[in-house]
Chain A
Amino acid sequence: DTAVSQTPKYLVTQMGNDKSIKCEQNLGHDTMYWYKQDSKKFLKIMFSYNNKELIINETVPNRFSPKSPDKAHLNLHINSLELGDSAVYFCASSQDMGAPNQPQHFGDGTRLSIL
């Protein structure tokens, strides 16, 4: 059973398009995250949600809009895609944002390539 699953695994699209990445966790966790990994493998937090409520919104263009329909899902919608959006996007979840000792469980990532 996959604990944190993301779809699609690969996404190739043209500049200016709008796309969504979906994430689901079956761990019963309260907190979910989106991270961006750039071409140099650097990972940086983008957003976190706790029980469907936005907690962290780092300096991310407002073309990126997370949506959490329930605490098991955190989707990422990106408008007007730009070349610089090419990266691997990872979804993660943890039991409780107030317990930083709890590890985060990561999905396998979505590799987004902008043509």
Chain B
Amino acid sequence: AQSVTQPDIHITVSEGASLELRCNYSYGATPYLFWYVQSPGQGLQLLLKYFSGDTLVQGIKGFEAEFKRSQSSFNLRKPSVHWSDAAEYFCAVGEGSQGNLIFGKGTKLSVKP
């Protein structure tokens, strides 16, 4: 069965520091991978997606993610974190036949001044 694992429940980084959020997936075929961000009290906003081509994908708000098939990973990165990046981040894989998303349990990002 497809699954997504986000090993880190909560990460705290200093403003201006670099960030990497980990995501591992289990999926038999070519995965369709997504990162979403959820700010407090808000819905989910798509940061970026991968389904083929270049394994390094660029998203909004300065985020990027790298797909590594050998490691079954799709880690999210940002070179310099801003206080406004504090939020919950969800990695998801698109289920091929029915189109729904299978989410990881999320990583909460806190940013300290």
Contacts and interface: CB of A to CB of B under 8 A. Distances in A.
A96 B106 contact: no
7 contacts: A40-B105, A41-B88, A43-B90, A45-B102, A48-B98, A102-B99, A103-B34
B44 A96 contact: no
Contacts of A50: 99
A66 interface: no
Interface stretch (A12-20, A74-82, A104-112): A104-112
A3 B43 CA distance: 12
Nearest to A3: B43
Contacts of A109: 42-43
A100 B95 contact: yes
A44 B98 contact: no
A94 B44 CA distance: 13
A104 B43 contact: no
Interface in B74-113: 88, 90, 94-96, 98-103, 105-106, 108
Contacts of B36: 106
A37 B13 CA distance: 26
Interface residues of B, number: 27
Of the listed residues A94, A104, A108, A109, the one surrounded by the most CB atoms of chain B closer than 10 A to its CB is A104
B43 A99 contact: no
Given A42-B106, A43-B90, A100 B43 contact: no
B46 interface: yes
Interface string B41-69: 11111100101100000000000000000
B60 to A, nearest CB: 12
Interface string A11-34: 000000000000000000001010
Nearest to A108: B43
B99 A99 contact: yes
Contacts of B42: 108-109
Of the listed residues A44, A45, A97, A101, the one surrounded by the most CB atoms of chain B closer than 10 A to its CB is A101
Contacts of A40: 105
A99 B88 CA distance: 26
Given A43-B90, A100-B32, A100-B94, A90 B101 contact: no
